[in-house]
A and B are shown apart, each in its own frame.
Chain A
């Protein structure tokens, strides 16, 4: 794993790295990914599982409910006239 890849991954993940950090994570991730090559030797398996147990067909009926007081949910949020405040879009 090279510095360029770590830089790209970090950018994608919205993490800014100092040069020092970049070097550190690059070394760590290289070591880790090298060790993880072990996975290539693992036996194949055609079964596909989303969970370690079979979780199937759990559904809810389409009944609207207001279960939370929205004022309580907004209590600690940075809001303006009930809108949640966010950064610039462009």
Chain B
């Protein structure tokens, strides 16, 4: 089975791609509009520098070759939400081509191209089926990322999208809590002929749409029916794909150059941009560089890139064993509280506490208590009481169930029994991260 995706991702600019209208959300229809994004006769586009910049950043993240010169093209298609009946997009010489992106750091997914283009407006249906259009979205910048058919399963497609969107959010400093959607055209062939499922919204639907289409194609092959090369759409309610009648020539857009914008020499701009390491690449590097378990590396990075950076610092200054013992341990367990409590707190203090332990000035237990006290803001005596209570509860449970220690050595999921017990007993007094940390620490101490 071969799956290839065309993914559309919004770029986080403050103003639209070709006009200065704000991109921020508004409840009022057609309020962030101007002659340009309404396509009014006499209006003209001017390109937003940051759209080019973000496009290049993503192209670099996807390891694409960046073209020295790039320009725009007009794609003509008629639809009520397309204010000019023309979309300004890229055809030849897009920003980047021939890239490769590694799924889970291992599997290469080839990237055909990445280009930038404008979004159309939003269409609403009325009771009498006529349309109502809000052009606030018209002209919002998008990146379109096209992959080769290197994806093996619908689940892998979702994995690819989740990882890529996560990396793009990190790359472009899009706040984690902001939902960032992706729209896909999904190409899938189980046998020989390729079918395109157009306009699928979100990663979950992409997986489901591909799955539904896969099942359909397998059934067709079993029934010895011919699969047609066609365009379909996904109906999430019925969980099936439906053929759409495509008129002859409809898949042709008669691209021509966009002469209102000219050309862009992006070599220098591209050379001047140094992109941040993606979370995915950081995970791989941590595991490799510090010889730590891939799971631990992933846990550190997915908790926070800042936590992973602290791990690197402690590892550099005080040795990797200290980083593993403390940063991946109690520091990680308390990180969320620490971040939410007061963003001005300096994690340098944590390094100092660990240094105290390393220098033999404080004991193992004292170090745990000081870290937790500093990070949560609870005073040391209370922490001591709490953690003593937690520790003794776990110790007691382990004494009663010695098999857990042996099981844990085979599969660390065995720790879940402890966690489940404590959570039930204490009714959420300790955070799950804290309980996990304590359980693992105490089990491992019994090896």
> Which chain A residues have a beta carbon within 8 Å of chain B's beta carbons?
8, 11-12, 14, 50-51, 54-68, 70, 73-74, 79-90
Contacts and interface: CB of A to CB of B under 8 A. Distances in A.
Interface in B28-45: 28-35, 38, 40
Contacts of B31: 70, 82
Given A61-B49, A80-B126, A83-B30, 18 more contacts: A12-B249, A51-B259, A54-B263, A56-B263, A56-B265, A57-B262, A58-B261, A61-B48, A62-B48, A64-B21, A67-B20, A68-B34, A81-B132, A82-B29, A83-B132, A85-B133, A88-B130, A89-B131
Given A8-B249, A14-B78, A61-B49, A55 B263 contact: yes
A50 B90 CA distance: 13
A88 B21 contact: no
Contacts of B247: 11
Interface of B: 13-15, 20-24, 28-35, 38, 40, 46-52, 71, 78, 80, 123-126, 129-135, 247-249, 254, 257-259, 261-265
B318 to A, nearest CB: 43
The 5 closest A-B pairs by CB, nearest first: A55-B262, A83-B132, A86-B80, A64-B22, A86-B131
Contact of B47 (A54, A58, A74, A81): A58
Given A83-B133, A88-B129, A66 B261 contact: no
B176 to A, nearest CB: 22
Contact of A89 (B14, B49, B129, B261): B129
Nearest to A84: B133
B38 A87 contact: no
A27 to B, nearest CB: 22
B34 A58 contact: no
Nearest to B79: A89
21 contacts: A11-B247, A12-B254, A50-B259, A50-B263, A56-B263, A56-B264, A57-B262, A57-B263, A58-B261, A61-B49, A62-B13, A62-B51, A64-B24, A70-B30, A73-B35, A74-B30, A84-B133, A85-B133, A86-B133, A87-B80, A90-B129
Contact of A64 (B20, B30, B259, B265): B20
Contacts of A80: 126, 132
Contacts of A67: 20, 34
A83 B24 CA distance: 18
Nearest to A74: B30
A83 B129 contact: no
A50 B71 contact: yes
Given A50-B259, A81-B29, A64 B14 contact: yes
Given A64-B21, A87-B80, A89-B131, A82 B30 contact: yes
A14 B263 CA distance: 31
A85 B131 contact: yes
B38 A73 contact: yes
Given A50-B263, A68-B35, A84-B132, A60 B48 contact: yes
Nearest to A53: B262
